[in-house]
Chains A and B, each alone.
Chain A
């Protein structure tokens, strides 16, 4: 047992025995997020597992590279090292981000459905945590927690990749210092951070909010309820007006914002990657956030009325 913390708790509780302590909004929000971690360990296990698997594959690739180098007589230039290195570098980030997206989607789809299915909603509702706090804490997971967490995992992975590359290639004649001083590495981590917060967080916000809404509303099979309405809207639009506005709207939403990071990373100015003004200029972002707020409001309202299934 955790003696130091429990004795501290006891003494603090005793002193507050008469006047009940207050629980701030931040506190109940913190514990609500914390409990999501207890329940959904995939949030961090999935990107971690992806990172480990990727690192193993990368190591195998490096050792093979070292073997090939032994065969060659000439010294290896920076370009030769960079080529086999740059691809896995970007791939690792893409892999971890992709997994984060999938985890975020499935998390949201189950967040307000699972508690109704296993009847635990009756326990959660017996605690003084409002529906607003509950839904917002569940929304924060795909919006903020998963992107930040997988960003950290991606950066650590890339750092470990650099370390691995350095150790395996040391003494091979390759210019290892060049690996570390390449501006592109540090630039790309910043790009990645920006990408995580904007695209995975804000741009996909209406997607997560929609999934939360469905998971609060669906009597069963939330996946079907999440996918069906878009299909129906697309079909009705196509037949009634012979247009596909809704479909192109969905496409833009799912593919990510039209231009920003593309132009960003090609801009020479380093600081421009830090200040994402193009992204925040897009009306699509704000419209999406407004839609997300609406979906969330409905989800919060629904949770009030919903009991176990």
Chain B
């Protein structure tokens, strides 16, 4: 069964089209990264999946309609919508008590053991914790919930490199398994390269690219072209070309690797470079700034 299935998913705010009738499918046990510039419709798509906003078109999450069956879905779907949404007045112990009180799938012992690895004191209030600690606390709460779908919208925004790495490491090592599905949006794309199983690019309410990471590795090749062979390389129609240290770096889509290996050094493109190529330099400028 597909974890999420959308057909003709559409949402507009007044005359602004946030989602222009998109189709996608997320299978169970995948980690999907949705990448796109600001205003691409990522958060709107996630809000529709979480039943936080009404939409047009067809959308099924774990076989249910997220808007009309939201109360049933909240037991199986968990989300971190933003970094700083934990109420500032709550104490760490109160947050544990509360989630243990209302969530049938919360394993308190598990949350305690995650917290034991941090320096977060039980008596401290969220407003007295650093941004990184709040993210750790939120992740500890969420990871102790045995949910089928976890949605993360910019979960590491504003965190330093160390916290970001820890965040994804814990997510992969302590949480993720074949029965769970994770959907994540972020601007910090390159850290996700080894985390994701699937990748989706969005731009202006449309899906520009939607494929698995294996597919990306087999489809796309980046070649640092030898200066003498630039013309030959261009003849193979790269989808993108940029200059690095005086040499041309070209990105090819579905071009025979034997042909390419003669042109220069080959490698799998980074998500950010792929994004530039696929979405285009115009939209890419925003994400480039955020990386």
Chain A contact residues, CB within 8 Å of chain B: 1, 6, 9-10, 13-14, 17, 20-23, 27-28, 30-32, 34-35, 38-39, 115, 118-123, 125-130, 304-305, 307-308
Contacts and interface: CB of A to CB of B under 8 A. Distances in A.
Contact of B108 (A13, A123, A304): A13
A28 B99 CA distance: 10
A10 B109 contact: yes
Contacts of A14: 109
Given A38-B94, A119-B82, A123-B87, A128 B146 contact: no
Given A21-B104, A23-B103, A128-B75, A1 B81 contact: no
B102 interface: yes
Given A35-B94, A119-B82, A128-B104, A13 B109 contact: yes
B102 A28 contact: yes
B82 A122 contact: yes
B238 to A, nearest CB: 42
Contact of B112 (A6, A21, A35, A123): A6
A118 B101 contact: no
Contact of B102 (A17, A118, A125, A128): A128
B74 interface: yes
Interface string B84-106: 11111111001001111111110
A224 B87 CA distance: 25
Nearest to A14: B109
B94 A27 contact: no
B71 A128 contact: yes
A307 B52 CA distance: 8
Contact of B122 (A1, A22, A118, A125): A1
Given A119-B82, A122-B81, A128-B74, A39 B89 contact: yes
Given A119-B82, A120-B85, A20 B105 contact: yes
Interface string B108-145: 11001000000000100000000000000010001000
B182 to A, nearest CB: 15
A106 to B, nearest CB: 16
A122 B81 CA distance: 6
Contact of A9 (B50, B79, B105, B109): B109
A14 B138 CA distance: 22
Q: Is the interface of A mostly helix, strand, loop or mixed?
A: helix
10 contacts: A6-B108, A23-B103, A28-B102, A31-B101, A35-B90, A35-B98, A120-B87, A125-B74, A127-B99, A128-B75
Given A118-B88, A120-B85, A127 B102 contact: yes
Interface string B35-72: 00000000000010010111000000000000000110
Residue among B109, B112, B142 with max Cβ neighbours from chain A (10 Å): B109
Most chain A C-beta atoms within 10 Å of own C-beta, residue among B82, B103, B105, B142: B103
Nearest to A9: B108
Contacts of B142: 126
A119 B75 contact: no
Given A119-B84, A127-B74, 15 more contacts: A9-B109, A10-B109, A13-B108, A31-B102, A34-B97, A39-B87, A39-B89, A120-B88, A122-B81, A122-B82, A125-B52, A125-B74, A127-B99, A127-B102, A307-B47
Contacts of A30: 101
Contact of B146 (A20, A22, A35, A123): A20
B80 interface: yes
A122 B94 contact: no
B251 interface: no
Contacts of B88: 118, 120
B27 interface: no
A10 B111 CA distance: 11
Contacts of B74: 125-130
Nearest to A22: B104
A123 B81 CA distance: 8
The winner among A17, A119, A126, A304 for most chain B CB atoms within 10 A is A126
Contacts of A22: 104
A23 B104 contact: yes
B38 to A, nearest CB: 17
A39 B90 CA distance: 7
A34 B102 CA distance: 11
Nearest first, the 10 closest Cβ-Cβ pairs linking A and B are A31-B101, A122-B81, A120-B87, A128-B74, A122-B85, A10-B109, A123-B85, A130-B71, A28-B102, A128-B75
Given A35-B94, A119-B85, A120-B86, A126 B80 contact: yes
Contacts of B32: none
Contacts of B103: 23, 127-128
Nearest to A23: B104
Residue of A10, A28, A119, A128 with most chain B CB atoms under a 10 A cut-off: A128
A21 B100 CA distance: 11
A34 B109 contact: no
A31 B94 CA distance: 10
A6 B104 CA distance: 17
B224 interface: no
A27 B101 contact: yes
| From A27, A119, A307, residue with most partner B Cβ within 10 Å | A119
Contacts of A1: 122
A13 to B, nearest CB: 6
B85 to A, nearest CB: 4
A39 B87 CA distance: 9
B103 to A, nearest CB: 6
